[in-house]
A and B are shown apart, each in its own frame.
Chain A
Amino acid sequence: AQSVTQLDSQVPVFEEAPVELRCNYSSSVSVYLFWYVQYPNQGLQLLLKYLSGSTLVKGINGFEAEFNKSQTSFHLRKPSVHISDTAEYFCAVSDNNAGNMLTFGGGTRLMVKP
């Protein structure tokens, strides 16, 4: 069985500061990793994905994430955040054995302050 842990339920940060949202996963097989963002009153939007190849992946809105197999982590980073980045961020994992079922972490609420 897979599981995803997002260690921080809330991350407050000032505008233009860097941010890292942490994600750790556990799985007995190779996985695919995703970050989704949920803006207020909206659905889940795919931010970026790791499928294979380069462990550093870039997504929309200036976000990037690095897959670290030895640490089973997939932390999300942005060098300079904007007020508009305020949202809930979800890390998720799937594999080819799970019927494409996504397993989600509990989410991290990023709060960008002016």
Chain B
Amino acid sequence: EPEVTQTPSHQVTQMGQEVILRCVPISNHLYFYWYRQILGQKVEFLVSFYNNEISEKSEIFDDQFSVERPDGSNFTLKIRSTKLEDSAMYFCASSEGPKGNQPQHFGDGTRLSIL
């Protein structure tokens, strides 16, 4: 069964440094997402992306965050200047289409630790 893959599984970064989290969505999916889960809290939506544009973003997704599809397979989340509160598990997801009845499939996540 096709799956979403994320790398690295664990990233440790000094505060203030830039970090890039990578994802390879399922190949025939057109919509891509990032979510995060701070330890002990809910999974929160960050951003959705389609046709090389952001479709929707949450209040969390401020100017320090950006997303990109640099080639035909990868989807990346960049955090420009990391803060301690960015420490979380980051999940990438993809779906065939944009509608709510098209389920999202998730990767195993990247655990980001900011020191």
Contact = CB atoms under 8 A, between A and B. Distances in A.
A90 B48 CA distance: 20
Contact of A98 (B56, B95, B103): B56
Contact of B106 (A36, A51, A96, A105): A36
Contacts of A98: 56, 100
A56 interface: no
A42 B55 contact: no
A101 interface: yes
Contacts of B93: 44
B54 to A, nearest CB: 10
Interface string A99-112: 11111111100000
Interface string A71-114: 00000000000000000001010111011111111110000000
Interface string A35-55: 010000111111001011000
B42 to A, nearest CB: 5
Contacts of A32: 100-101
A41 B41 CA distance: 16
Contact of B91 (A43, A49, A94): A43
B25 interface: no
A49 to B, nearest CB: 6
Contacts of A46: 103-106
B101 A51 contact: yes
Contact of A105 (B4, B42, B99, B103): B42
Contacts of A106: 41-42
B106 A45 contact: yes
A59 B41 CA distance: 26
B45 A103 contact: yes
A100 B98 contact: yes
Which interface residue of B6, B43, B55, B99 has the most chain A CB atoms within 10 A?
Answer: B43
Contacts of A96: 99-101
Given A36-B106, A44-B106, 11 more contacts: A42-B108, A43-B4, A44-B43, A46-B103, A46-B105, A52-B101, A92-B43, A99-B48, A100-B56, A101-B48, A106-B42
